[in-house]
Amino acid sequence: MNTDIFNVQTKIGKPWKKPPFVQSNLLRWVLITGFVIYLIAAYMTIDVNWSRVYEGLERGKKFVLAFTNPDFTSRSSDIWEGMIESILMTVASSVVGILISIPIALGAARNVSPLPVYLICRGIIAISRALQEIIVAILLVAIFGFGPLAGFLTLSFATIGFLSKLLAEDIESMDKVQAEAIKASGAKWTQWINYGVQPQVMPRLIGLSIYRVDINFRESAILGLVGAGGIGATLNTAFDRYEYDTAAAILLIIIVIVMALEYLSGIVRARVQ
């Protein structure tokens, strides 16, 4: 009887099983057990004060309710000032950041620039990307004093890292044939860049720039937390004074502006590509 079942099994073969995502058996089990051990360790070291959380739920409810009844009016002048400052910082830093990042992107593309220039520009990009906006803002506020200038410099600096890196990658992956054709016609270096390289990367540059404007606005909303100007300072004050309805109003404005920018950038990017 037993042998019969055994025979059937061998005849039809093993039932099909879903192939696992991680192919190697050993690696899969090491990953799983390591993850479980980590989770336990993490759970042990995080002490959550549940009674405090429970107490806070009441306030959380109040905050959620504040969203249904945001207060735009009673602090409207503060909100307005903060918003204007945020927008000013966004525009100014985007313009400066984009202007500076174009030459750096050219320098950081291996097929356009010689090795020493390449290394310097890549170094600038690496530094700018490794430091978060908020940390740069702290340092710049310490150096330049409070106000939107520190925020402006921070955002410009961050824009350079972001834009140069992506643009340099685009330049590196461009079509060589076109660029060579321009070179073969006896063009100077500037002409070569202008007619051989620039038309190829222009759509991407526009798309990235608009995307960066979007990011810069979002970031400008938090720079105020460390004193670098913008709407963040107003928001922080509103939280500190438990004026949730004002805070909700500010958050709603931020969400609406970000949505509008995202919508706009979607249209522009669709048009240039």
Partner 1 sequence: MIFTYCWQQISKSTTWFFVWDAPRIATDLWTRATPPKWEYISQLGKPIWDTLNIATLGTLFALIIAVPVAFLAARNTTPSRFIIRPIALLIIVSTRSINSLIWALLLIAIIGPGVFAGVIAIAIRSIGFCAKLLYEAIEEIDETQVEAITATGASRWQVMAYGIVPQILPAFAGIAVFRWDINIRESTVLGLVGAGGIGLQLNASLNVLAWPQVTLILILILLAVIFSEWISAKVRHAII
For partner 1, the binding residues (CB under 8 A) are 18, 21, 38, 42, 45-49, 52-53, 56-57, 59-60, 63, 84-85, 88-89, 91-92, 95, 130-132, 134-135, 138-139, 142-145, 147-149, 152, 218-219, 221-222, 225-226, 229, 232, 235-236, 239, 242, 247, 251, 254-255, 258-259, 262
CB of 204 to partner 1, least distance (A): 19
113's tokens: 């620039």
By C-beta, is 52 or 188 nearer to partner 1?
52
By C-beta, is 98 or 112 nearer to partner 1?
98
CB of 187 to partner 1, least distance (A): 31
Radius of gyration, CA atoms only, the chain: 27
| Per-residue DSSP letter, 19 | P
* Dist CA 79 CA 230 (whole Å): 10
* Dist CA 86 CA 151 (whole Å): 9
Contact between residue 245 and residue 71 where contact means Cβ atoms under 8 Å apart:
yes
By C-beta, is 187 or 258 nearer to partner 1?
258
CB of 211 to partner 1, least distance (A): 13
CB of 101 to partner 1, least distance (A): 16
> 242: phi > 0 → left, psi -120 to 50 → alpha, else beta; which?
left
Inter-axis angle of helices 198-223 and 231-240, to 10 degrees? 30
By C-beta, is 179 or 222 nearer to partner 1?
222
